[in-house]
């Protein structure tokens, strides 16, 4: 287990190093001078020189990378070209919004997928199963930002049940935070839930056809016990992988949905940094997203053994 853990962590660190090179290269691949482009009409030689110096762009390339990487390892992701605030604090301000949306959306997704997928698997090829399969296919195919627009049109506009957009921090007003969270979380959760439903169904069906389940039935165990003890636990392993990938994707900022709902999250920040050519913020956001994705995947891998002792992590 320790050997496997060390290998997986080493592989993750190697990929993360590759990611850091890619992210660092981003600012140098922009045609033209990134500081000059970012300053636009605010340009004057003194500001330009100061910003270039603070961003470390007046050093040799290797020194720039080492300086940037050293800073990143200490949580210093540079200075925003736009606000001139530290990138880490700009990102930190947006983190709670993205985290609350991602966690609420994955909760919605699981609440949809687990019962729907299990019920489908219990009655394969029934009318319910067919309806659930069609519904999940529809959910996978619907553009989340269009679903969000329709939700605003109907649930916020015509019915007036929820606010149409905006983000209120949990610490400021928990009631309003929840009210604003419902529509974006439902929008993202329905789409993720559709993907997960198919995995829950496929995974439960596969487990139910295995010998140990047949043996449990032959022994006369009640269906509920078989489902709880044999099916759910074994079917959870592949579902966990997909749920982990979905969570990583959601934590990486659902850019377009955040824009539809004016949700002040990291996805919206990344897009704003592209529009205002604030490359250090874009670099910081992309680096963080990739880190989150890799760490969530690593954690999911390690959880495998906990859920299914047959899987040996040696």
Partner 1 sequence: MTARQLRRNPLGAFGAVVLLAFVVVGILGRRLAPYAPNQVDVIRGRLAAPSAHHPFGTDQLGRDIFSRVLAGAAVSLRVSLLAVGLAAVVGVCLGLLAGYYRGWRDALLMRTMDVLFAFPAILLAIAILAVRGPGPDNAAIAIGVVYVPIFARVARAGALSVRETVYVRAARSVGASDTRILTRHVLPNVAGPVIVQVSISLAFALLAEAALSFIGLGTQPPDPSWGGMLAEGRDYMQGHWWVAAFPGLAIFLVVLACNLVGDALRDALDPRQRGAIEAGGR
Shortest reach from residue 72's CB to partner 1, in Å:
15
d(CA 53, CA 62): 15
- Judged by beta carbon, residue 221 or residue 302, the one nearer partner 1 is 302
Q: Does 285 bind partner 1 (CB under 8 A)?
A: yes
Shortest reach from residue 96's CB to partner 1, in Å:
19
Is residue 1 within 8 Å of residue 313, measured between CB atoms? yes
Shortest reach from residue 113's CB to partner 1, in Å:
13
Shortest reach from residue 22's CB to partner 1, in Å:
6
d(CA 286, CA 288): 5
Please work out the total of residues on this chain that contact partner 1, with binding judged by CB under 8 A. 56
86 phi, psi to nearest 5 deg: -60, 135
Place of tokens 């050293």: 70
Binding mask 191-210 for partner 1 (x = CB under 8 A): xx--x--xx-xx--x-----
Q: Does 262 bind partner 1 (CB under 8 A)?
A: no
Alpha helices in the chain (DSSP H): 2-29, 34-39, 45-54, 61-73, 87-122, 127-141, 144-151, 174-208, 211-218, 223-225, 233-251, 255-260, 266-275, 279-307
Q: Does 298 bind partner 1 (CB under 8 A)?
A: no
Q: What DSSP letter does each residue of 51-96 carry, written as one string?
A: HHHHTTTTS-HHHHHHHHHHHHHTT---B-TTT-SBHHHHHHHHHH
Of 182, 187, 189, 223, nearest to 113 by C-alpha is 189
Beta-bridge partners for 79? 86
- Among residues 1, 7, 9, 18, which is the contact residue for partner 1, using CB under 8 A? 18
- Among residues 270, 280, 300, 301, which is the contact residue for partner 1, using CB under 8 A? 270
Query: Which residues 76-135 are close enough to bind partner 1 by CB under 8 A?
Result: 134
Binding mask 149-188 for partner 1 (x = CB under 8 A): xx--x---x-------------------------------
Q: What DSSP letter does each residue of 123-140 carry, written as one string?
A: STTSHHHHHHHHHHHHHH
Q: Does 61 bind partner 1 (CB under 8 A)?
A: no
Q: Does 29 bind partner 1 (CB under 8 A)?
A: yes
Shortest reach from residue 237's CB to partner 1, in Å:
13
d(CA 234, CA 183): 33
- Judged by beta carbon, residue 49 or residue 154, the one nearer partner 1 is 154
Q: Does 24 bind partner 1 (CB under 8 A)?
A: no
Cα–Cα–Cα angle for 103, 108, 114, rounded to 5 degrees: 115
Q: Give the binding site for partner 1 (CB under 8 A).
A: 11, 14-16, 18-19, 22, 26, 29-31, 134, 137-138, 140-143, 145-146, 149-150, 153, 157, 191-192, 195, 198-199, 201-202, 205, 241-242, 245, 249, 252-253, 255-256, 259-260, 267, 270-271, 274-275, 277, 279, 282, 285-286, 289-290, 293-294
């Amino acid at each position: 287990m320790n050997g496997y853990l060390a290998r997986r962590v080493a592989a993750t660190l190697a990929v993360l190093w590759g990611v850091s090179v890619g992210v660092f290269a981003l600012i140098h691949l922009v045609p033209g001078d990134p500081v000059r482009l970012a300053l636009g009409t605010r340009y004057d030689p003194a500001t330009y020189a100061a910003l270039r110096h603070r961003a470390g762009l007046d050093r040799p390339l290797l020194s720039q990378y080492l300086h940037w990487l050293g800073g990143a390892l200490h949580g210093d992701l540079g200075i925003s070209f736009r606000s001139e605030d530290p990138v880490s604090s700009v990102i930190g301000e947006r983190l709670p919004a993205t985290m609350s949306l991602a966690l609420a959306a994955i909760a919605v997704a699981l609440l949809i997928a687990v019962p729907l997928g299990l019920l489908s698997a219990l009655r394969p090829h029934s009318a319910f199963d067919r309806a659930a399969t069609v519904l999940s296919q529809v959910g996978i195919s619907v553009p989340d930002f269009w679903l969000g627009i329709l939700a605003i049109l109907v649930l916020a506009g015509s019915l007036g049940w929820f606010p149409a957009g905006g983000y209120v921090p949990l610490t400021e007003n928990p009631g309003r935070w929840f009210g604003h969270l419902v529509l974006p979380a439902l929008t993202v959760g329905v789409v993720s839930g559709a993907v997960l439903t198919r995995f829950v169904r496929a995974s439960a069906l596969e487990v139910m056809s295995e010998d140990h389940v047949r043996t449990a039935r032959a022994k006369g165990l009640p269906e509920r016990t078989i489902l709880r003890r044999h099916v759910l636990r074994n079917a959870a392993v592949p579902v966990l992988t997909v749920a982990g990938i979905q969570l990583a994707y959601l934590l990486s900022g659902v850019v377009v949905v955040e824009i539809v709902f004016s949700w002040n999250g990291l996805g919206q920040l990344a897009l704003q940094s592209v529009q205002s050519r604030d490359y250090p913020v874009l670099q910081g956001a992309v680096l963080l997203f990739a880190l989150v994705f890799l760490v969530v995947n690593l954690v999911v891998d390690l959880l495998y053994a906990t859920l299914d002792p047959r899987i040996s992590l040696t």
